Chains A and B, each alone.
Chain A
């Protein structure tokens, strides 16, 4: 398990991280979500030792992380970049060897990854001759080429086409499932996070504001909303039930907010008396809605 414990960091007068703590269990994919400038990149840089924390520790398998253990981490920085004039495979081999992988292993692994990630072009091409999408895939290969024990990826999906997104999603799932790698990545593509992640960590202004599986987050949410569609009903039919109020009107139905232990089944009973019920169910907020709600608090 990768544990971030009470990370704190200031940049001059700005508090970037104000006690960030969360865990990434082995074999799990954790989505790291927050607005721009909320502290995601700073957290990830600290986890990789690229930046130092003013306070707090990063722990891997029960021991504080040092430069030697970090060599077994895989990282994709937000600010992408490799040597523009270096050949693609040579570059991957070099980066793998910096992290302690023997030359021969690095070479065959680099070749495999370039195929797996469907990088178009010759492995001996110079980096700068590749398209941006392909460069992005090589960058991902660079974070995987030494078969890391931990994966920390900052915005890995940004700039990828839909096919690239699928390829990358498969690779991350494979790393977590087959090799038991804890994976944490940040993203603004929340439906993707929702689809791919076992857990989500929400950060805002340097603090973790919510964490857990999507279902846990939904359970945590403040408002209990139900959507119901009764075409024949007279307006305001729900007002007789205590603790039920109108949240919004949407798509020919209404969204009702239940408070004070109001029973959704009573609503359904009453609605049936009004006419045929076309649709009824809890409103399952998307991650984006949850996020907005949490951040707005």
Chain B
């Protein structure tokens, strides 16, 4: 058999192994399930509050239901749901109030509460009663139906705004929150997987066998691509599930930006993962035992954690100075920028600068990390200092 003319594609074999070995691991299944559970809770919580909308009341009446019906109509305009029930007499009304099956009872002359009256409900009922009285006066003065309609239907004040709020802002913030939560989990979790994968090979000494067959750069690249692809696949599964569930439960509109947001999250995951995973791999190569992993990844952990909190802050204030800077610096942009984009707060030039910075710094980082990696990965006795690793490589 003749020698293969090139070894350029070997990283694909490494990537494939890392992907398939991990997809069969129990921890992958568990993390997928946990993610899906957390997302379900978030989506269902939003769905239930969307269905409930605003406050709702049960209003009983004795005698004529005109005031109660009017109150229900006014409530509907104000986003308050009022269910109206007819009660035969006052004693039934009293017991209904006592057992809590109605919140208030309206009669010809009274609005009765159990111990108090709800400050939202009471003014609506009063307004309805006032309207009724007004209608009676208008009747007495023989005001025509056209004149009444003109008053009722006109808009007495035109609305004006200082700034235009992007449509669906509230909904976008919810989508962005879920997105940044997912991104944080994936970048962090799969970054750690890269670091521990490097340590695993070092600890089991298999790395010397591997490096006698392929170059360190290919091993590094294969590992990052393999584990990253798994993270990406999981992210796609979870996002699809989240969007499906959200539509099914009406937690968000079909017309919403959820698809766009999912695309953004996935795109920034790929870029952010390439950046962080390169750092994680280099850090992992410095130690030999899993117990030492925490020591070397602290700076990376902190960077991701701080970026996460800034991004959560960006949900409230997407144009704050800190948020803008964080969304451009490559150390935090993968988390901060997608939030700002989903909220419609990032101008195109900032997105462009942020992308160039992230991709560019990753390209610069790879040879640096690969050199540390190849200098450190064969040193299996204790922790390697960065300077040692650097000098030990060619």
Contact = CB atoms under 8 A, between A and B. Distances in A.
Interface of A: 45, 48-52, 67-73, 75, 77, 79-86, 94-95, 97-101, 105, 142, 147, 149
12 contacts: A49-B212, A50-B378, A52-B394, A67-B214, A73-B212, A81-B205, A81-B208, A82-B204, A94-B17, A99-B213, A105-B1, A142-B209
B13 interface: yes
B205 A100 contact: no
Given A50-B378, A51-B378, A77 B3 contact: no
Q: Which 8 A-B pairs have the closest CB atoms?
A: A81-B205, A100-B4, A77-B208, A75-B212, A48-B212, A98-B213, A79-B205, A81-B204
A75 B209 contact: yes
Contacts of A45: 208, 378
B209 A81 contact: yes
Contacts of A83: 200-201, 204, 206
Contacts of A52: 394
Contact of A68 (B7, B21, B201, B208): B7
A68 B3 contact: yes
A49 B32 CA distance: 40
B209 A95 contact: yes
Nearest to B394: A52
B1 A98 contact: no
A98 B211 CA distance: 10
B204 A67 contact: no
A71 B59 CA distance: 84
Nearest to B14: A98
Contact of A82 (B3, B4, B7, B209): B209
Main secondary structure of the interface of A (DSSP, over half): loop
Nearest to B392: A11
Contacts of B21: 85-86
B215 interface: yes
A147 B4 contact: no
Contacts of B7: 67-68, 71, 100
Interface in B67-106: none
Interface in B23-60: none
B17 A77 contact: no
B7 to A, nearest CB: 5
B1 A147 contact: yes
B266 to A, nearest CB: 29
A71 B378 contact: no
B132 interface: no
B210 interface: yes
A160 B362 CA distance: 47
Given A94-B13, A98-B210, A142-B209, 5 more contacts: A68-B4, A75-B209, A75-B212, A77-B205, A99-B213
**Residue picked from A68, A79, A95, A100, most chain B C-beta under 10 Å:** A100
A84 B204 contact: yes
Interface string B195-235: 00000110011111111111100000000000000000000
Contact of B212 (A70, A80, A105): A70
Interface residues of B, number: 28
Nearest to B378: A50
Nearest to B216: A50
Given A50-B378, A52-B394, A105-B1, A98 B13 contact: yes
A67 B206 CA distance: 18
B10 A98 contact: yes
A80 B208 CA distance: 8
A94 B211 CA distance: 13
A67 B5 CA distance: 11
Nearest to B4: A100
Contacts of A68: 3-7
Contacts of B3: 68-69, 71-72, 100, 149
B393 to A, nearest CB: 8
A80 B205 CA distance: 6
Nearest to A84: B204
Contact of A67 (B209, B215, B378, B380): B215
Interface string B369-384: 0000000001010000
A97 B204 contact: no
A88 to B, nearest CB: 13
A73 B200 CA distance: 25
A187 B91 CA distance: 105
A49 B208 CA distance: 10
Nearest to A77: B208
B13 A79 contact: no
Contact of B211 (A50, A97, A147): A50
Given A79-B205, A81-B208, A97 B4 contact: no
A204 B10 CA distance: 38
Nearest to A128: B204
**Residue picked from B6, B14, B208, B213, most chain A C-beta under 10 Å:** B213
Contact of A81 (B6, B14, B206, B212): B206
Contacts of B6: 68
Nearest to B377: A50
A2 B13 CA distance: 29
B308 to A, nearest CB: 32
A216 to B, nearest CB: 31
Contacts of A142: 209
Contact of B1 (A69, A73, A94, A101): A101
A48 B214 CA distance: 10
A85 B5 CA distance: 32
A77 B212 contact: yes
B288 to A, nearest CB: 11
A105 B4 CA distance: 14
B217 to A, nearest CB: 10
B213 A95 contact: yes
A50 B17 contact: no
Contacts of B378: 45, 50-51
